[in-house]
């Protein structure tokens, strides 16, 4: 029987769970763990961040790109509280993550000790579950449980709070790694009613105006192949949520692209006029529905989701199945394959004709400028140069929407973005996490002058570990999306949406030891971006500051309070 200290058990458990990267920041309560880290230099690599929020986003980016659990290590008090935004970001987007937080010694808990805070209490609303470990010998089982909970069912972040005294390197206890664990109140695999499969097939076959609405759950459950097969077999158009980009090939002729507030005209119109919405792995988030009272009045709604709380929470489902999307889609395909299916081209011809008319409006067209670089053209250029194969992280704002609309993602897990919480400062650290997971791939962080400054200190982390990502800063000298909303809803009163004191981004990047590049003229865009991408192969981080049209808005845009079909396609032009 092995006798180990608590801190050794932590490290041993992480190695046992095959954790490759640990993103963290040391402090008093976790110093014993940091000391024990020295014993496993090859199997578990620690990435020292510059702020704990950065650690959570890096682990998050790693998890989104790989599908594995991202792991974070922070100290008690401020270390733990700094990780909160990242935990909430992961929670909102159902990302598997384990956050190990140090805690003051057990006898000091509740005494307002130095660097004490109630991490379990503070993180409670934004975690899938949390553990306060009270005994050293409970550490292995707790870790196994935490990883299991984080990565099964609807994934999410799990906090493990470790009081300092149970980590004491001088106190050795029996280390028993549980090969199997059982939590009687947590059984994530849910069986579904097979009769509903029949009902769904009937509806899919009789619908005259069907649409598939695909979300992040398709990516989480790896059901993209089944979805593609089903959509092609039944000739049904597909729209994806922001989180679902890549779940259906972006350049596929049946893809109507993103729906919702900044969705394409054809996607939103098709949703509004559909007689059947086949929703897979989506939660009918308010950014995709507009006014619920006017939502898709003719549609029968079929909803597949792993999380029972997502069913009929906002939009009432006519047929719902709770369970793993992959298994359910497989069953639908299995049964469909046994049936004789009529000519789907013919049956849905009228519907596709309508969709074509909406597509012909070309809602993603934008006005050209002689003087300014248009942000849309930057994204399109990046898509061409990377042949659509890059991993793209984004921050939150106009640049995020431009990327979502103009970079067609053909594969899953290439679009790394804070959809639910909308966290500015996410892009750079997330990109570093992605690049660590896939060092040979091109990783691009598309950001804005507001967002990048929220976690810009992580440029230092990138330098320390030579993480060569490309940062595209769409610089409009403003908080673009805030300004856009002020233009539309506040009569152009720009209250605190300007950034009047921007740093010299190139000098700043250089001061961290990176390469910098500025693009101000349209004709420079393509050659300079090409050079920047080539330079990535020299293991440099390239910061490209692109001065874009400061007046550009993101369109199309739904009209507030309207139905899915109430859209504005250009400034002051209503369809």
Could you give the CA distance from residue 428 to residue 442 in angstroms, rounded to a whole number?
A: 14
- Contact at 8 Å (CB) between 33 and 25? no
Is 349 known to be catalytic? Answer: no
Least Cβ distance, residue 94 to another protein (angstroms): 12
DSSP single-letter state for residue 374 = P
The radius of gyration computed from the CA coordinates of the chain, to the nearest angstrom, equals 25
Query: Is 261:558 a contact under the CB 8 Å cutoff?
Result: yes
Nearest to 175 by CA among 20, 8, 43: 8
Check if the beta carbon of residue 125 is closer than 8 Å to that of residue 97: no
Q: Which residues of 76-137 form beta strands (DSSP E)?
A: 97-103, 129-132
Q: Which is nearer to another protein, 98 or 436 (CB)?
A: 98
> Least distance to another protein from the beta carbon of 104, Å?
16
Name the catalytic one among 119, 481, 517, 567. 481
Instruction: Return the number of the residue (185 or 343) whose C-beta is nearest another protein.
Output: 185
* Number of Cβ within a 10 Å radius of residue 336: 18
Instruction: Return the structure tokens found at 393.
Output: 């992280």
Query: Which pairing describes strands 129-132 and 157-163: parallel, antiparallel, or unpaired?
Result: parallel
Known catalytic membership, residue 38: no
Comparison of 134 and 233: residue with beta carbon closer to another protein = 134
φ, ψ of residue 516 in degrees (nearest 5): -130, 155
User: Measured between alpha carbons, how far is 556 from 363 in angstroms, rounded to an integer?
Assistant: 6
Q: How far is the CB of 530 from another protein (least distance, A)?
A: 48
Of 115, 376, 398, 486, catalytic:
115
For another protein, which is the closer residue by CB, 220 or 484?
220
* Closest separation in Å from C-beta 301 to another protein: 15
8 Å CB contact between 309 and 190: no
Q: Which of 3, 111, 114, 534 is catalytic?
A: 114
Contact 365, 556 (CB under 8 A): no
Residue closest to 221 by CA, chosen among 247, 198, 242: 247
What three-state secondary structure class fits 394?
strand
Q: Which is nearer to another protein, 206 or 316 (CB)?
A: 316
Of the pair 307, 524, the CB lying nearest another protein is at: 307
Give the tokens for residue 292: 């619920």
Instruction: Tell me which residues touch another protein (CB under 8 A).
Output: 120-121, 124-125, 128-130, 132, 134, 149, 183-186, 307-309, 311-313
Active-site residue 481, yes or no?
Answer: yes
Q: Strand locations in 104-200, DSSP E?
A: 129-132, 157-163, 173-175
Pick the catalytic residue from 12, 68, 128, 164: 164
Cα 534 to Cα 223: distance, rounded to the nearest angstrom: 34
Active-site residue 114, yes or no?
A: yes
Task: Kindly tell me which of 3 and 183 has the beta carbon lying closer to another protein.
Answer: 183
Q: Which residues are catalytic?
A: 52, 114-115, 164, 481
């Amino acid at each position: 029987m092995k006798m180990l200290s608590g801190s050794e058990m932590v490290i041993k458990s992480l190695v046992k769970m095959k954790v490759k990267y640990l993103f963290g920041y040391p402090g008093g309560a976790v110093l014993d763990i940091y000391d024990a880290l020295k014993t496993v230099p090859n199997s578990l690599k620690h990435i020292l961040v510059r702020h704990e929020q950065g650690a959570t986003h890096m682990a998050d980016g790693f998890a989104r790109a790989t599908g594995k659990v991202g792991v974070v290590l922070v100290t008690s008090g401020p270390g733990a509280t700094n990780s909160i935004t990242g935990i909430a970001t992961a929670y909102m987007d159902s990302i598997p993550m384990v956050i190990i937080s140090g805690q003051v010694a057990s006898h000091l808990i509740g005494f307002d000790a130095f660097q004490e805070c109630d991490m379990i209490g503070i993180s409670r609303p934004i975690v899938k579950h949390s553990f306060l470990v009270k005994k050293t010998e409970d550490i292995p089982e707790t870790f196994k449980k935490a990883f299991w909970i984080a990565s099964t069912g609807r994934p999410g972040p799990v906090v493990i709070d470790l009081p300092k005294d149970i980590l004491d390197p001088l106190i050795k206890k029996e280390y028993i790694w549980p090969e199997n664990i059982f939590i009687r109140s947590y059984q994530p695999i849910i069986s579904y009613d097979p009769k509903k499969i029949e009902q769904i097939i009937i509806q899919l076959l009789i619908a005259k105006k069907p649409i598939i609405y695909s979300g992040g759950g398709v990516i989480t459950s790896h059901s993209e192949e089944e979805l593609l097969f089903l959509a092609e077999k039944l000739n049904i158009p597909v729209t994806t949520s922001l989180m679902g980009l890549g779940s259906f090939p972006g350049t596929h002729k049946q893809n109507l692209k993103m729906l919702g507030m900044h969705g394409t005209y054809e996607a939103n119109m098709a949703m509004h006029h559909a007689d059947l919405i086949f929703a897979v792995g989506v939660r009918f988030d308010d950014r995709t529905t507009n006014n619920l009272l006017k939502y898709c009045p003719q549609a029968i709604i079929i909803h597949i989701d792993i999380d029972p709380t997502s069913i009929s929470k906002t939009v009432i489902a006519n047929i719902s199945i709770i369970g793993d999307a992959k298994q359910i889609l497989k069953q639908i395909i299995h049964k469909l394959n046994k049936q004789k299916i009529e000519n789907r081209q013919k049956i849905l011809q009228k519907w596709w004709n309508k969709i074509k008319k909406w597509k012909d409006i070309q809602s993603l067209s934008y006005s050209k400028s002689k003087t300014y670089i248009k942000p849309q053209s930057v994204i399109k250029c990046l898509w061409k140069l990377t042949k659509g194969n890059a991993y793209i992280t984004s921050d939150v704002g106009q640049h995020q929407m431009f990327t979502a609309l103009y970079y067609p993602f053909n594969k899953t897990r290439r679009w790394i973005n804070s959809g639910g919480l909308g966290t500015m400062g996410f892009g750079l650290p997330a990109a570093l996490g992605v690049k660590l997971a896939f060092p040979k791939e091109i990783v691009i962080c598309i950001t804005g002058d507001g967002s990048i400054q929220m976690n810009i200190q992580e440029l230092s982390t990138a330098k320390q570990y030579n993480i060569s990502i490309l940062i595209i800063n769409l610089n409009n000298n403003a908080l673009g999306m805030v300004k856009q909303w002020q233009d539309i809803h506040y009569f152009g009163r720009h209250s605190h949406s300007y950034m009047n004191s921007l740093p010299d981004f190139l000098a700043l990047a250089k001061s961290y030891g990176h390469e910098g590049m500025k693009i101000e003229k349209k004709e420079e865009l393509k050659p300079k971006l090409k050079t920047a991408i080539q330079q990535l192969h020299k293991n440099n981080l390239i910061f490209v500051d692109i001065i874009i049209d400061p007046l550009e808005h993101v369109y199309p845009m739904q009209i507030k309070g309207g139905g899915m079909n109430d859209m504005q396609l250009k400034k002051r032009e209503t369809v």
